[in-house]
Structure 1
Amino acid sequence: MLAVAPVAAPPLGAAQPGSIPFLRVQIDSVTPDIVTTTSDQMVTVTGTISNVGDRAVRDVVVRLERAPAVTSSSALRTDLAGNVDQYQPVADFITAAPELARGQQVPFRLAFPLRSADGSSMRIDTPGVYPLMVNVNGTPDYGSAARLDDSRFLLPVLGVPPQEAQEGQDDGVAAAEALESAVPPDTTRPVGLTMFWPLADRPRLAAGAPGGTTPVRLIDDELATSLAPGGRLDTMLTAVDFATSPEVDPGGAVTRALCLAVDPDLLVTVNAMTNGYVVNDAADAGPRTPTHPGAGQQAAIDWMNRLKTLAARMCVAPTTYAQTDLDALNRVADPGLSSIATTGSGGIVDQILGITSTRGASLVGDGPLTASAVQLLTAQGPTVAVGAANLVGPEETADGMAETADTRPIRYTPNVVAAQFDPAVGAALAGVGPAPESPSYVDPSLDISVKQDSAAARRQDALASLLWRSLHPETTPRTEILMPPLMWNLTPQDAQSILTAVATSIRAGLATPRPLPVLINDANAAAVDAPLPTGPLGNPRGRFDAGVVTGIAAATGRLWGLTAALTTDERTGLTGYQYTAPLREDLLRALSLSVPPDARNGLAQQRLTTVGRTVEDLFNAVTIVNPGGSYTLATERSPLPLALRNDLPVPIRVRLDIDAPPGMTVTDMGEIVLPPGFLPLKVPIEVHFTQRVAVDVALRTADGVPLGEPVRLSVHSNAYGKVLFFITLTGGAVLALLVGRRLWHRFRGQPDRADLDRPDPIEVALSYRDDETPADAGAGRRARTAPGGSDA
């Protein structure tokens, strides 16, 4: 190809990379991806240059450049962005295309030996990690020649292959010299390697569905695709299953270095899918949303069976439930919810997989290990927290120099030891695959944009980063934890390359397997005391808002209050704790770090709103039936009839709160176990008035938490009041006295003074004539009787 002199003209503002894009360079392949002493001397880089601008570009030229070997872990990030002064050309520019029209592409191929006695070469003669850059220059229409784009990647060199024999050299001499010219790595201080292989997913169970709800409901059916052959979770499981098989790993070294990091929420979801499930027609709707049948039942069954087989022969460690952000969870300040997210995860994994998972480690996940997270873990008992070390870029350091993460184990509290991994390495692993992300624990000074880089370039960065510490025996400590993002999305080629790199480092003597139980013991033994982390750690974009945290705290408190009142349904065996458990898990899912930072608060608020509505419905499902009319009490001790309704599938312990008016006494019925359905009650009361009154009746749990809506009853009493009672009593006493007096006089044969003005009934009877009526007789008698009582 035509050699072109380097472009020295000062670039125009319009032609600066990152302003108005004209060209884009993508790396398609790097061969070999890891250089060893048995590799070919020639390193080949292929790629594509595309015109993405609004005009043609002439004189498109390309060359390969190299920077010195990386000497600090932060440089694994910073050398891939920003300043290009450290890069020196490997050879002159070569022409990729005389002119590249809008939308056109042109491939390129750059091949150079690592070292050469004559001609162009990379001048690499010692093992290490070397940054390489493909630099593309061109002249846009109406502009001047300038650097229009570049693509950078890391090349891991585990060993320098022998130099090629010179022409005409004797074969025996050439072979001897070649053998001597090979530069193997320093294996005197191998690193103890522990790698977590994540099996996790974003929360997929629809929010707001209490326990016992069948079939289970998912927000979408993406998990069916992920579990099926070729899907993300299938790829993750297949790759680690193959790499740890006895045929591929006969000595078991790779198997001992690996540990499955399993999210309990994923297991709960997949296990539920094996019994059939439905999918919401609307992703953001509640439990009343229309659904359609899910398509992944068989895929879930097959995947779960394969995982159980794999888990039986290798290390398994649970993550926090649903990858909950421990910093935000500590701000929620609910001990019960914190326990479910941490210490409760292992039991779920063991129950579903039928194994005993490795305990003693807390996998913090993709968030920073803040003081708040340490405080939460401290309350849960002794543990080793696997989290990212604190590391910043050169511009944030006092001397402006790149630094290497200090990954020594640290004891923050008597209960919490931090086993730290290098965040630069973790971020490089997070950049692999079709959906690269930057974990929340990465400081903004190390947060470089990797989405514009090709999959091949990002894979190279990950391979080099995980091997970097092995190639630098002077770094301490001589241990390394590889912690990829829990939502790792790898292609089969990515997964194979990374597991091959791990196996290569072990077989080359650069690393030795360090099983997780050994890591836990070593961390507890070697930890140095340190104060709690201070200041804002990680990327502030990933922090959950105070509104979300406050809302979760309020919903959790109400939910615990209801759960304390629920009992066990003897017919189904469903307990109150089991019935409300999915709603608590929903609140943990709202704080999941598996959601991209920019979407976390929005999706958390959406899930919280749905759970809040369901919790409110549960409280309103236990009510007093409003009769709609009035009660009439026949007597002063007539009971007050009530009917209670429980629409929950489990019994609940309740108390009646009756606001009685003066003159009414209500007998406390104590704690009532209200079964599902209706329960008629007769409340003993005593009324001392005759009138219509209003009686307010409310329902509460045994601990006083209000249930349902209060009911106002209209009660009419016909009972005697106190005044009428005393009047009646007085009248009865007077009547008894008068009767007694009359009987007294009669027994003594004395006329009652009350009868003196009345005629004697016997005399009246004797004065009747046979032909007279009593009235006539009386009249005749009165006529014959003279005044004064004497006869005429």
Structure 2
Amino acid sequence: MSSVAVRRTGSLRPSPLLRFPGSLRSCPLVRLPRSLRSCPPVHVFRFLAAAVLLILVATPAVSPRAAAGEPSSAQFLHLQIDRVTPDIVTTTSDAVVTVAGTVSNVGDRPVRDIVVRLEHAAGVTAAPGLRSNLSGNLDQYEPVADFITLAPELQRGEKVPFTLSYPVRAGGQPSLHIDKPGVYPVLVNVNGTPDYGEPARLDDARFLLPVLGVPADPTDTAGTDGAPPVGAVVAPDTTRPVATTVLWPLADRPRLAAGIPGGTTPVRLVDDDLATSLASGGRLDTLLTAADFATSPEVDPDGTVRTALCLAVDPDLLVTVNAMTAGYVVSTTPDGGLNAPTRPGAGKDAAVDWLNRLKALAQRTCVTPTVYAQADVDALARVGDPTLNTAATTGAADIVDQILGIKSVRGAALLGDGPMTERTVSLLAAQGPTVAIAAAPLTASGEDTVALDPRRDAPQVVTAPFDPMVGAALAGAGTDPQTPTYVDSSLTIPLAHDSQVARLQDALGSLLWRGLRPDIEPRTQIVMPPLAWNLRPDEAQAVFTAISSTLRAGLAVPRPLPALIDETLAAAPSAAGRPPAIDGNPRARFDDDVISGIGSTTTRLSELTAALTTDQQTGLTGPQYTAPLREDMLRALSQTVPPDARNGLAQQRLSTVQRTLADLTGAVTIVNPGGSYTLATERSPLPLALRNDLPVPIRVRLHIDAPPGMTVTDPGEIELPPGYLPLRVPIEVHFTQRVAVDVALTTVDGMPLGEQVRLSVHSNAYGKVLFFITLTGGVILALLVGRRLWHRFRGQPDRADLVPPTRPVREHRPDPLDTALAHAPDDDTR
């Protein structure tokens, strides 16, 4: 029974519920409208009810029907590959390939007569076949042997294991019929009969089987007359090895909390996932341990793997881990920010151990930086900020060198996920001579091929392409499979359907394919896994084993990254060309709102940074204080975030930085007195107080909006230290009244700071009138005093001292009381 030949018909058994009433059967159904008019109304009603019932009963049995050779859209069975032995066939490996797996009933009904068989296809001849053979059409597959019955029936939720073992080749017996090295697609097919259905292919699982060398046929015997056996081992062709460069990623999603300026201690993270990732058995520990082990003198005594390997390290990860070594806290809210609540982090010891091991490995291994936070270079070009571009590219190497204490390899720009667009070329060209390592575009020449020859996209930029099929296969391996956005939609395979074992086989097969095809040009290969790769320890070891095997088998030779850069610059055409007319995957494109928001925020941040100076007590500089906020703009454009979530997380980080920037500019302000000032004279200074809550000094200017009649002396540029600064602004007032004076504070370049303050000023100044009145009064007073002194010195009475003439005295009438007392007799005369 062939899985392709079986077709479900969806036939139904007769049911007594579908019998029509006899009176209705008497009505001619062929001419339905006229016959129904001749039938009683009750018959028409019965006919319609029976038709509806027929549709309801028939639909469940027909809906899961699948076409021949295609799984049903309603999933009944799921086939999973659990083990492939050997994962790489060599001349010394086992000559029998064993595939073990599990078939599970994931549908809504029992499935009967479950059978499986192994199928195989011819070796892959073109790079796109590394993907196209893993999905879609089955015409290229042929059965290895007949179907094998697994179970007579499988109820819902039940599963049954299987094991299929066949020789790589065996004359006259079922085998994979592999007679030369290559990469071969293999398929496990499962058929069954769902309840209410008919036999059909219900699922399949595919993977790639790399064959470095064909082992001897176990059924073959020595030829006649002492001739070698017909089925002797077949070694690979090593006459044209592939020059291989392996970029091993050490990167992670941005973990530093957004909106936290420099100098803030302890450092804040958005979550504590890095504590797990850096600890033993974690993702970053696995990647570092695998690279350390594969390049150790015991495992790699001649340094072959170490020569081909270069660690691609994200500066943002180093900054984060280095900060964790001093202790850190974790934000308990998703958006973080300056005032977000926190809890202590648990990964300090793991960060110290991981960073020390990386420093030791970096002393003997090539290290090159990635773009900071793996920011999308095309999106950076759309933002158009030169400072941000420099921080993302050329400035990244300085951070790696400073933290690891090494001299990293420069001159290469690693574009992990995005394609090489015209905007990307323009940005890189402004940074100086650069070799851009990016995914190659597909070209059509008879059949789809991958153009891997170096090309000069600008006088300063040469692109060294890597095979997108290999990159996509590596990205599909591990516990978090992803499809890079540089992969064409026609070559996308359902990663969620395949098991980790199958995806790892695809990665190994793709990795080894070019070395097994000496007829394929060019004879160079750049191994570029996803930067946020998530492998299990055994998977990381399997990848390094494959790399080591192909190098030691003579299928490949190591090419150090510095040699790749020099050879690419020399091999690229001298005439400047244009990059491919592509604009990236729309699914991964950052929204225009995010791009414009980052552009405006970066401009404001640069204006603020230009006004900040160095605090002499702490040594903190303005650029150091604002650097984390500028780096947040790069983290917002990170390509390690899944495409469907990029814009949402970018907008969240951008909003947090904008709130922090508003807080920083609001922290430098004029203290509002809350009352009014009274000026005693026309030249009384205007007292003010400035406040700076930032940890660094800032250069500011005062802007006083004086009314007519008031002249203000500009105090010029003021360096405002942290804390309070009292000022007395010289003014001159030529009126007497109460007026409102608006005072604003800006940076030296005019960026507003704080809030504008309105002062109520009362002036007692009378101007020139008051001056002349006072002068006249003083002169008169001086003359009067002088005259008195003149007369006193000459002994003459001053006329001012004489009694002035009075009016005539009126007749005095004595007081009656005084008169009575005067005439009273004395006591002596009594």
Q: Which residue of 1 aligns with 2:267?
A: 216
What is the CA–CA distance in structure 1 between the aligned matches of 2:395 and 2:223, rounded to whole Å? 70
Of 216, 239, 259, the match for 2:310: 259
What is the CA–CA distance in structure 1 between the aligned matches of 2:572 and 2:226, rounded to whole Å? 53
- 3-state SS, counterpart of residue 461 of structure 1: helix
The yes-or-no answer on 1:520 pairing with 2:565 is: yes
What is the CA–CA distance in structure 2 between the aligned matches of 1:737 and 1:291, rounded to whole Å? 78
- Indicate conservation of the 8 Å contact 1:646/1:678, yes or no: yes
Q: Cα offset for 1:473? A: 1.1
What is the CA–CA distance in structure 2 between the aligned matches of 1:775 and 1:46, rounded to whole Å? 142
Q: Cα offset for 1:8? A: 2.3
The yes-or-no answer on 1:81 pairing with 2:127 is: no
State the Cα deviation string for residues 557-598 of structure 1 (Å, max 9, x = none): 111100000000000000011000011111110100010000
What is the CA–CA distance in structure 1 between the aligned matches of 2:459 and 2:576, rounded to whole Å? 11
1:451–1:538 CA distance, 2 compared to 1 (3 A): farther
Q: Which residue of 1 aligns with 2:157?
A: 103
Q: Which residue of 1 aligns with 2:679?
A: 633
- Indicate conservation of the 8 Å contact 1:694/1:713, yes or no: yes
Q: Which residue of 2 aligns with 1:58?
A: 112
State the Cα deviation string for residues 293-320 of structure 1 (Å, max 9, x = none): 1111001111111111001000000001
Q: Cα offset for 1:538? A: 4.0
Q: Which residue of 2 aligns with 1:249?
A: 300
Q: Which amino acid aligns with 1:604?
A: A
Q: Which amino acid aligns with 2:7?
A: P
State the Cα deviation string for residues 402-427 of structure 1 (Å, max 9, x = none): x2211111111111111110111100
The yes-or-no answer on 1:272 pairing with 2:317 is: no
- Indicate conservation of the 8 Å contact 2:359/2:405, yes or no: yes
The yes-or-no answer on 1:93 pairing with 2:147 is: yes
Q: Which residue of 2 aligns with 1:286?
A: 337
Q: Cα offset for 1:123? A: 1.2
- 3-state SS, counterpart of residue 633 of structure 2: helix
- Indicate conservation of the 8 Å contact 1:6/1:92, yes or no: no
- Indicate conservation of the 8 Å contact 2:6/2:201, yes or no: no
Q: Which residue of 1 aligns with 2:350?
A: 299
What is the CA–CA distance in structure 2 between the aligned matches of 1:226 and 1:370, rounded to whole Å? 33
What is the CA–CA distance in structure 2 between the aligned matches of 1:734 and 1:166, rounded to whole Å? 139
The yes-or-no answer on 1:416 pairing with 2:461 is: yes
| TM-score for both structures, normalised by structure 1 | 0.90
1:80–1:638 CA distance, 2 compared to 1 (3 A): same
The yes-or-no answer on 1:308 pairing with 2:359 is: yes
State the Cα deviation string for residues 469-503 of structure 1 (Å, max 9, x = none): 11111111110000000000000111011100000
Q: Cα offset for 1:7? A: 6.2
The yes-or-no answer on 1:153 pairing with 2:150 is: no
Q: Which amino acid aligns with 1:497?
A: A
What is the CA–CA distance in structure 2 between the aligned matches of 1:171 and 1:683, rounded to whole Å? 113
What is the CA–CA distance in structure 2 between the aligned matches of 1:734 and 1:113, rounded to whole Å? 130
Q: Which amino acid aligns with 2:550?
A: S
State the Cα deviation string for residues 318-354 of structure 1 (Å, max 9, x = none): 0011111101111111100110010011110111111
State the Cα deviation string for residues 418-468 of structure 1 (Å, max 9, x = none): 111011110000001011001122222222221210001000000000111
- Indicate conservation of the 8 Å contact 1:7/1:145, yes or no: no
What is the CA–CA distance in structure 2 between the aligned matches of 1:21 and 1:375, rounded to whole Å? 49
Q: Which residue of 2 aligns with 1:787?
A: none
- Indicate conservation of the 8 Å contact 2:279/2:350, yes or no: yes
Q: Which amino acid aligns with 1:493?
A: D
Q: Which residue of 1 aligns with 2:704?
A: 658
Q: Cα offset for 1:6? A: 5.2
Of 403, 414, 419, the match for 1:352: 403
- Residue ranges of structure 2 left out of the alignment (5+ in a row): 10-62, 792-796, 812-830
Q: Which residue of 2 aligns with 1:141?
A: 195
Of 568, 572, 577, the match for 2:614: 568
What is the CA–CA distance in structure 2 between the aligned matches of 1:206 and 1:455, rounded to whole Å? 33
Q: Which amino acid aligns with 1:408?
A: D
- Indicate conservation of the 8 Å contact 1:11/1:147, yes or no: no
What is the CA–CA distance in structure 2 between the aligned matches of 1:609 and 1:390, rounded to whole Å? 36
Q: Cα offset for 1:285? A: 3.0
Of 422, 446, 464, the match for 1:371: 422
1:88–1:7 CA distance, 2 compared to 1 (3 A): closer
Q: Which amino acid aligns with 2:679?
A: L
The yes-or-no answer on 1:9 pairing with 2:6 is: yes
- Indicate conservation of the 8 Å contact 1:689/1:722, yes or no: no
What is the CA–CA distance in structure 2 between the aligned matches of 1:664 and 1:107, rounded to whole Å? 94
- Indicate conservation of the 8 Å contact 2:515/2:555, yes or no: yes
What is the CA–CA distance in structure 1 between the aligned matches of 2:223 and 2:142, rounded to whole Å? 35
The yes-or-no answer on 1:468 pairing with 2:522 is: no
Q: Which residue of 1 aligns with 2:819?
A: none
Of 424, 429, 451, the match for 2:496: 451
- Indicate conservation of the 8 Å contact 1:444/1:539, yes or no: no
Q: Which residue of 1 aligns with 2:51?
A: none
Of 694, 697, 700, the match for 2:743: 697
- 3-state SS, counterpart of residue 412 of structure 1: strand
- Indicate conservation of the 8 Å contact 1:15/1:147, yes or no: no
- 3-state SS, counterpart of residue 181 of structure 1: coil
- Residue ranges of structure 1 left out of the alignment (5+ in a row): 747-759, 781-792
1:615–1:163 CA distance, 2 compared to 1 (3 A): same
What is the CA–CA distance in structure 1 between the aligned matches of 2:684 and 2:798, rounded to whole Å? 50
Q: Which amino acid aligns with 1:512?
A: V
Of 689, 693, 707, the match for 1:647: 693
What is the CA–CA distance in structure 2 between the aligned matches of 1:365 and 1:593, rounded to whole Å? 8
Q: Which residue of 1 aligns with 2:729?
A: 683
The yes-or-no answer on 1:238 pairing with 2:283 is: no
Q: Cα offset for 1:737? A: 14
Q: Which residue of 2 aligns with 1:755?
A: none
Q: Which residue of 2 aligns with 1:130?
A: 184
Q: Which residue of 1 aligns with 2:764?
A: 718
Paired residues in the alignment total: 744
- Indicate conservation of the 8 Å contact 1:308/1:354, yes or no: yes
Q: Which residue of 1 aligns with 2:605?
A: 559
1:18–1:716 CA distance, 2 compared to 1 (3 A): farther
What is the CA–CA distance in structure 1 between the aligned matches of 2:546 and 2:72, rounded to whole Å? 33
What is the CA–CA distance in structure 2 between the aligned matches of 1:737 and 1:340, rounded to whole Å? 77
1:249–1:690 CA distance, 2 compared to 1 (3 A): same
Q: Which amino acid aligns with 1:161?
A: P
Q: Which residue of 1 aligns with 2:471?
A: 426
The yes-or-no answer on 1:185 pairing with 2:236 is: yes
What is the CA–CA distance in structure 2 between the aligned matches of 1:554 and 1:761, rounded to whole Å? 85
- Indicate conservation of the 8 Å contact 2:684/2:732, yes or no: yes
What is the CA–CA distance in structure 2 between the aligned matches of 1:293 and 1:643, rounded to whole Å? 39
Q: Which amino acid aligns with 2:149?
A: T
Percent identity, aligned pairs only? 66
Q: Which amino acid aligns with 1:599?
A: A
- Indicate conservation of the 8 Å contact 2:459/2:576, yes or no: no
State the Cα deviation string for residues 751-789 of structure 1 (Å, max 9, x = none): xxxxxxxxx999x99xx9xxxx96478999xxxxxxxxx
- Indicate conservation of the 8 Å contact 2:259/2:336, yes or no: no
1:530–1:458 CA distance, 2 compared to 1 (3 A): farther
Q: Which amino acid aligns with 2:719?
A: V
- Indicate conservation of the 8 Å contact 2:170/2:219, yes or no: no
What is the CA–CA distance in structure 2 between the aligned matches of 1:116 and 1:371, rounded to whole Å? 54
The yes-or-no answer on 1:510 pairing with 2:555 is: yes
Q: Which residue of 1 aligns with 2:378?
A: 327
Q: Cα offset for 1:698? A: 0.3
- Indicate conservation of the 8 Å contact 2:693/2:723, yes or no: yes
Q: Which amino acid aligns with 1:656?
A: L
What is the CA–CA distance in structure 1 between the aligned matches of 2:639 and 2:659, rounded to whole Å? 24
Q: Cα offset for 1:166? A: 3.9
State the Cα deviation string for residues 2-50 of structure 1 (Å, max 9, x = none): xx56562324661432510000000111111111111222111111111
Q: Which residue of 2 aligns with 1:336?
A: 387
What is the CA–CA distance in structure 2 between the aligned matches of 1:601 and 1:465, rounded to whole Å? 32
- 3-state SS, counterpart of residue 240 of structure 2: coil
What is the CA–CA distance in structure 1 between the aligned matches of 2:220 and 2:649, rounded to whole Å? 65
What is the CA–CA distance in structure 1 between the aligned matches of 2:411 and 2:191, rounded to whole Å? 55
Q: Which amino acid aligns with 2:64?
A: A
What is the CA–CA distance in structure 2 between the aligned matches of 1:31 and 1:46, rounded to whole Å? 9
